[in-house]
Amino acid sequence: MVRPHDTRFRRLPIQPTISALNAINAGDKAMQQLPVCLNMSDRLVVVTGGGQTAARRAETALRAGARVRVVAEHVGDAFDDITDDPRIEIRNSALERADLDGVFVVFAASGNTADDAAVVRLAREANVMVNVADHSALGDFSIPSIIDRSPLLIAVSSSGTSPLFGRLITQRLEATIPAAFGNLTRFLGSIRDGLTQRIPDSRRRRRFLETIVDGTVADLVLSGNEERARTLLAKEADSFVSGGDTPEGEVYLVGGGPGDPDLLTFRALRLMQRADVVVYDRLIGSPILELVRPDAERIYVGKKRNQHALPQDEISRLLVRLARDGKRVLRLKGGDPFIFGRGGEEIELLASEGIPFQIVPGITAASGCSSFAGIPLTHRDHAQACIFVTGHTKTGRLSSDWATVLQPNQTVVVYMGLAVLGDLMRDFIANGADPSLPVAIIENGTRPNQKVATGTLSDIASITEAAGITGPALIIIGTVVTLREKLAWFNQPAPKDAAATAALSSETGGLAAASAPDVPVEGAAVR
Amino acid sequence: MKMPGRVYLVGAGPGDPELLTLKAANLLAVADVIVFDRLVSPEILAFANPQARRIPVGKEPRRHPVPQSEINRILVREARAGHLVVRLKGGDPFVFGRGSEEALALRAAGLRCDVVPGITAAQGCAAATGVPLTHRGLATSVRFITGHCRADEPLDFDWDGLADPATTLVIYMGAANIAEIATRLQGHGRDPDTPVMAINNGTRPDERRLVSRLADIAITAADASFAGPVVFIVGDVVALYGDSHMSPALQSALATANDVSREAAPYA
Ligand SMILES: C[S@@+](CC[C@H](N)C(=O)[O-])C[C@H]1O[C@@H](n2cnc3c(N)ncnc32)[C@H](O)[C@@H]1O
Ligand SMILES: C[S@@+](CC[C@H](N)C(=O)[O-])C[C@H]1O[C@@H](n2cnc3c(N)ncnc32)[C@H](O)[C@@H]1O
């Protein structure tokens, strides 16, 4: 049994779930397999092999209601628990073509690759789907790890890439899915037809179901009080149905962070899964967008080729209109909505139109880049203050005057400054900043393709250009930049534990892809 | 020989457990050792691996804080013992948290230290109150300062630069020195009518807010006798905090969250 606290997992380079899974698929964005759930009831399956693995396969098939024919020259003790089951038939011989007559699927589980390959050949001849334990690529499908809260089933698959990792994730999920969820699922199944009649509109029905699942009705079911749950449900459905034609819409103004999907907050993820429609712009990358409820409508309001972005007041009006239609609208923004995100402007209109809204902060680019580049924004000996400003494409100026920006012991972070980097750096010097003041440019901060260039006010512009940095990028100015030399960690080889990492990544196959090779663009040494 | 473990310097956000990042939660779930501050709420520690050893190092009221050098030693010791160590800090680890000092100590000991950013207190408080930190026409920049200084040293700022009306000023650790800060800011030209909001225990169930103006904030804050962390947001954006700009949902949230008299505050 693999537990999260097995020593094997101790020193995993933990790129927790989402980025690891994305990384596995990085080269190949298409799904590698299609998960399905088979109806096994009363169907005949064949399991070949007499050992532990074969016994587990037979057991799972029996649990799913199948009849099982075990074909193996020798059937071991591992089968002792299940040989009494009347649905099991044992044939003590090697598999023959005739064993496959009328068979739905075959599980090759002898543990011997040559034997399994022979089974695959026979199965192919007989046109029967076959699975090969531990070598799913040899056969037609893989078997996921399962969390069984029947009728609720949660299957976790690594598409055969790293079954061990799949099991690790299953283990973590196990603890978070209450045992009584099976009852709740059954209960919800029993009210499904009635509910479809009462609330024919699927969007409204979904919303009603959500309030049920988060509310007292579910609590009653989970604590075994189905009778009272049914009474309460009827009451709540009545008041929901009589509560007007369109449900009340609302807007979630959500910060999506700097790009790494693991940096989303729980609340952001929850609202992303709840929204009926998502309104997003350029800074939202696909790894984050993929986490929005798949059937939510998507509206892109950023810049398109040959076209400007939708003007801010039109975006605000769009949000109002969608919410008025009764939709739950996710306004997903890069970073934090209240830091150069124009979130304030959007809620002004919502508020004056009386539309309910929620604001969810996100990791702002400055924090994401600071952490992932190893450049603290404050440090006792370097900076007791930090200012976030923007660069202006038109004027080439900063959003604050020089007395404000050029303070001792203050880190300056410039958003949207890359396009005017050269002018900006010259202005800093012209207004009295030390030309040797350290500067870092972080492009695609927190993303696998993060690039960091460091230099000084006088040379960073040419270093950045030579590095081919095009943005989105953040500028950090101040002596804290010198700390990167010691604190850089992301995409860096770590000499001391490199060996451990290598050993583990071969064991878990694929997870190693989570730490892509570095793209360091260190310029002139930082002084 | 034991393989050295690994330390993750992790931001826990301002307190609301839903503002934890997925990455932070996943690391907590697999940690062997968790070294945490007083600012980290118990709801967040509930995400931790139940078998993990918990080492509190924060300041407790009326207790001596664990000195920084001792915290550094603990981190190095646990990592050398081969553990997966999560160093959990309030807000963002690289904003006024001395997180960088801990990371440097680990690197000096030849250990690896990964950093996971968090929602800093100012962001949590801004989102909770509906007051943006930057806003067209009101604030083109935002500045974060600490109101805390080393013992016996004066607050060391270029006060003229701090007086810019178009820069939202966020003061961390400012409760003790807010009177001096407010006076200095006015002395260097910041309008005494500039709205100020104090948020205490922002994003937590016991959140309290107070809206005042620069001339009065020292007294109103003293009257409120806050317990727990406070940030001050100084600037015209605070004027957006008001009924005309609040959704009904937000208003009802405010009505329950705000126990500080709104009548007493000119900008409420
Ligand atoms: C319109 S601002 C939005 C800022 C956002 N609201 C936030 O809090 O991060 C866009 C700017 O954010 C910065 N930015 C956003 N994501 C970034 C990333 N992953 N790496 C570097 N800079 C980023 C760039 O300076 C970019 O020009
Ligand atoms: C040592 S600093 C740490 C800041 C932290 N690293 C961050 O990014 O938020 C502690 C200060 O943060 C502020 N703070 C932290 N959490 C807060 C909260 N929930 N509400 C209000 N202020 C908070 C207070 O100003 C407090 O004095």
Residue A347 lies in a domain: yes
Residue A190 lies in a domain: yes
> What pLDDT score does A29 carry?
56
* CATH number, domain containing residue A341: 3.40.1010.10
Q: Give all domains of chain B, ordered by start, each with its CATH number.
A: 6-116 (3.40.1010.10), 121-257 (3.30.950.10)
Amino acid at B118: G
Q: A203 is in which domain, residue-wise? A: 181-241
* CATH number, domain containing residue A130: 3.40.50.720
Q: In this predicted model, which residue has the larger pLDDT, A165 or A36?
A: A36
Q: Which of A366, A364, A339, A363 is nearest to A480 (CA)?
A: A366
Q: Which residue has the tokens 């520690």?
A: B45
> What pLDDT score does B169 carry?
97
Residue A100 lies in a domain: yes
Chain-centre distance for alpha carbon A39:
30
Q: In this model, does residue A479 exceed pLDDT 70?
A: yes
Q: Are A205 and A195 in contact (CB under 8 A)?
A: yes
Q: Are A429 and A402 in contact (CB under 8 A)?
A: no
Q: In this predicted model, which residue has the larger pLDDT, B1 or A170?
A: A170
pLDDT confidence tier of residue B154, bands split at 50, 70 and 90: confident
Report the C-alpha gap between A308 and B200 in whole angstroms.
Answer: 42
Which long-range CB contacts under 8 A does A119-123 form with residues at least 24 apart?
A: A119/A48, A119/A95, A122/A95, A122/A96, A122/A97
pLDDT confidence tier of residue B258, bands split at 50, 70 and 90: very low
Identify which of A347, A355, A489 has the shortest CB distance to residue B130. Answer: A347
A339 lines ligand 1 (CB under 6 A): yes
Q: In this predicted model, which residue has the larger pLDDT, B102 or A274?
A: B102
Q: Which of A83-87, A145-149, A328-332, B162-166 has the lowest mean pLDDT?
A: A145-149
Active site residues of A: 281, 303
pLDDT confidence tier of residue A19, bands split at 50, 70 and 90: very low
Residue A24 lies in a domain: yes
- Identify the closest residue of chain A to B50 by CA–CA distance: A5
Q: Which residues pair with A389 in a beta bridge?
A: A414
Residue A423 lies in a domain: yes
- Same-domain pairing of A312 and A385: no
- Same-domain pairing of A217 and A263: no
pLDDT confidence tier of residue B65, bands split at 50, 70 and 90: confident
> What pLDDT score does A247 carry?
64
- Same-domain pairing of A340 and A380: no
Q: In this predicted model, which residue has the larger pLDDT, A522 or A95?
A: A95
Report the C-alpha gap between A94 and A114 in whole angstroms.
Answer: 13
For A129, the 3-state DSSP assignment is strand
What DSSP string runs through A403-459?
A: HHH--TTEEEEEES-GGGHHHHHHHHHHTT--TT-EEEEEESTTSTT-EEEEEETTT
- Taking CB atoms and an 8 Å limit, are A385 and B27 in contact across chains? no
- Cis previous bond, A151, omega within 30: yes
Residue A440 lies in a domain: yes
- Same-domain pairing of A340 and A296: yes
Residues of B with CB below 8 A from A490's CB? 114
| Count of domains forming chain A | 4
- Same-domain pairing of A60 and A147: yes
Residue A512 lies in a domain: no
- Same-domain pairing of A190 and A283: no
Q: At which of A131, A151, A176 does a domain end?
A: A176
Chain-centre distance for alpha carbon B77:
28
Amino acid at A27: G
Amino acid at A1: M
Starting at the edge strand found earlier in the chain, the sheet holding A88-91 runs A88-91, A67-71, A44-48, A105-108, A129-132
Q: Are B87 and B35 in contact (CB under 8 A)?
A: yes
Q: At which of A190, A213, A241 does a domain end?
A: A241
Q: Is A417 on the interface with B (CB under 8 A)?
A: no
- Taking CB atoms and an 8 Å limit, are B245 and A489 in contact across chains? no
The per-residue pLDDT for range B93-151, each reduced to its tens digit, is 999 989 999 999 999 999 999 999 999 999 999 999 999 999 998 999 999 999 987 66
Q: At which of A297, A330, A363 does a domain end?
A: A363
Residue A517 lies in a domain: no
- Same-domain pairing of A340 and A404: no
pLDDT confidence tier of residue A245, bands split at 50, 70 and 90: low
Report the C-alpha gap between A345 and B136 in whole angstroms.
Answer: 8
Report the C-alpha gap between A62 and A81 in whole angstroms.
Answer: 12
- Taking CB atoms and an 8 Å limit, are A266 and B4 in contact across chains? no
- Same-domain pairing of A285 and A296: yes
Identify which of B99, B107, B141 has the shortest CB distance to residue A399. Answer: B141
- Same-domain pairing of A142 and A102: yes
Q: What residue spans of B41-141 are helical by DSSP H?
A: 42-45, 68-80, 99-108, 121-129
Relative to beta strand A145-149, strand A152-156 is antiparallel
Report the C-alpha gap between A479 and A375 in whole angstroms.
Answer: 10
Amino acid at A281: D
The per-residue pLDDT for range A358-384, each reduced to its tens digit, is 999 999 999 999 999 999 999 999 999
- Same-domain pairing of A70 and A144: yes
Instruction: Give contacts of A 89-128 with B, CB under 8 A.
Output: none
Q: Is B153 on the interface with A (CB under 8 A)?
A: no
- Same-domain pairing of A188 and A299: no
- Same-domain pairing of A310 and A451: no
